[in-house]
Copies of this chain bind each other. A is one copy, B any other.
């Protein structure tokens, strides 16, 4: 694996490295950790990389790695830069024959998104998008339950992603995370909706298997002077007639990272919360509420295949994140062996989920500016 971004001081780069390392299936062999070559070099030292494989730019990295003999060069690129620097390295990596793991949202604009989809389809390479929250075992369980029809036809979906960390104008300090996320030039046309709203959208569609068909959005920038939305409330309609609500916020003061989803069908419903991810509360019309737990009792294979440790030992965010990397590794290994990968391991978000997320952002922003009630997605 070669990494683009994630140098000293970055948050998400370290997360990707831990997620990639956890299962000992992936080795970090090179990186272009910063657009500042010195920072990149120092970051490479921190990571015990040989200096000749620490590059000053992603262009240099991709060019030089592509020139290395097979077996020696990196197998895939992991892109952990801010949104506006996703498309460039992703496109170039694909064109040089490298598979890609990319942080979300996919890119900066719909044009970029469509082009990446096209490039992935053309090259036939793997492209994984780290919508990591779908990596949790109990999210897999929830999805499998719905697929198996346990809840009956889905009627209602409530998905929420409240945070409070941008309740003040943090971007005026030197907080790096706040800086780029609230900057249209680096984040795109949406703030909270791009950063976390897309996670909520992805989770809702992943778990239910439904598609949002139209929506009605009300976005707000509550903090004076902020240039992108820090809160959004959205009515949803799904393609099967289900209705729903999505809200995401970075000004819900005091909230940490409370992504959660409730789904109700004809026969029952469930509630899953990211902050206690090993619990799935399942509610039934005709029998008591059940608490399903990671690794406990009979669970669907989709859930079991993404669980590492026995019941009662909590698995966390990094393990869910690692499930994406591990699945990518297993699929690459299967390719190398000329085999079809086990379908259980094909379960990771792809460039198509990325395109979907970009459509969501675009639709939400358009709806919020419109006087019409419903905007099609």
Instruction: Give 9 nearest A-B pairs by CB, closest first.
Output: A254-B283, A257-B312, A256-B312, A316-B316, A313-B317, A289-B291, A314-B316, A288-B290, A256-B311
Using a CB–CB distance below 8 Å, which chain A residues touch chain B? 11, 14-15, 17-18, 21-24, 28, 47-48, 151, 155-156, 158, 160, 162-164, 167-168, 216, 218, 220, 222, 231, 233, 235, 237, 243-245, 247, 249, 251-258, 262, 264-269, 274-278, 282-293, 296-297, 308-319, 370-374
Across-interface contacts of A290 in B (CB, < 8 A): 288-291
| Contact B235 A253, beta carbon cutoff 8 Å | no
Least Cβ–Cβ distance between A218 and chain B, in angstroms:
5
| Contact B319 A167, beta carbon cutoff 8 Å | no
Q: Measured between alpha carbons, how far is A23 from B24 in the docked complex, in Å? A: 11
Q: With CB as the reference atom, state the residue of chain B lying closest to A230.
A: B155
Across-interface contacts of A168 in B (CB, < 8 A): 285
Across-interface contacts of A284 in B (CB, < 8 A): 253-254
| Contact A253 B233, beta carbon cutoff 8 Å | no
In the assembled complex, 29 residue pairs joining A and B whose CB atoms fall closer than 8 Å, in A order, are A17-B24, A18-B308, A21-B21, A22-B22, A151-B253, A164-B264, A164-B283, A164-B285, A231-B243, A233-B235, A252-B264, A253-B265, A253-B268, A253-B283, A254-B269, A255-B283, A255-B312, A256-B312, A275-B314, A276-B276, A287-B297, A288-B292, A288-B293, A290-B290, A309-B317, A315-B318, A371-B372, A371-B373, A372-B373
| Contact B245 A164, beta carbon cutoff 8 Å | no
| Contact A156 B318, beta carbon cutoff 8 Å | no
| Contact B245 A233, beta carbon cutoff 8 Å | yes
Q: Measured between alpha carbons, how far is A265 from B21 in the docked complex, in Å? A: 41
Least Cβ–Cβ distance between A36 and chain B, in angstroms:
22
Across-interface contacts of A257 in B (CB, < 8 A): 310-313
Least Cβ–Cβ distance between A41 and chain B, in angstroms:
18
| Contact B18 A22, beta carbon cutoff 8 Å | yes
Q: Measured between alpha carbons, how far is A216 from B368 in the docked complex, in Å? A: 12
Q: Measured between alpha carbons, how far is A291 from B315 in the docked complex, in Å? A: 21
Least Cβ–Cβ distance between A163 and chain B, in angstroms:
7
Across-interface contacts of A296 in B (CB, < 8 A): 256, 288
| Contact A156 B231, beta carbon cutoff 8 Å | yes
Across-interface contacts of A162 in B (CB, < 8 A): 262, 264
| Contact A268 B254, beta carbon cutoff 8 Å | yes
| Contact B312 A315, beta carbon cutoff 8 Å | no
| Contact B283 A11, beta carbon cutoff 8 Å | no
Across-interface contacts of A371 in B (CB, < 8 A): 372-374
Across-interface contacts of A258 in B (CB, < 8 A): 312
Least Cβ–Cβ distance between A376 and chain B, in angstroms:
14
Q: Measured between alpha carbons, how far is A177 from B168 in the docked complex, in Å? A: 47
| Contact B22 A318, beta carbon cutoff 8 Å | yes
Pick the contact of A21: B11, B24, B373 (CB < 8 A): B24
Across-interface contacts of A372 in B (CB, < 8 A): 371, 373
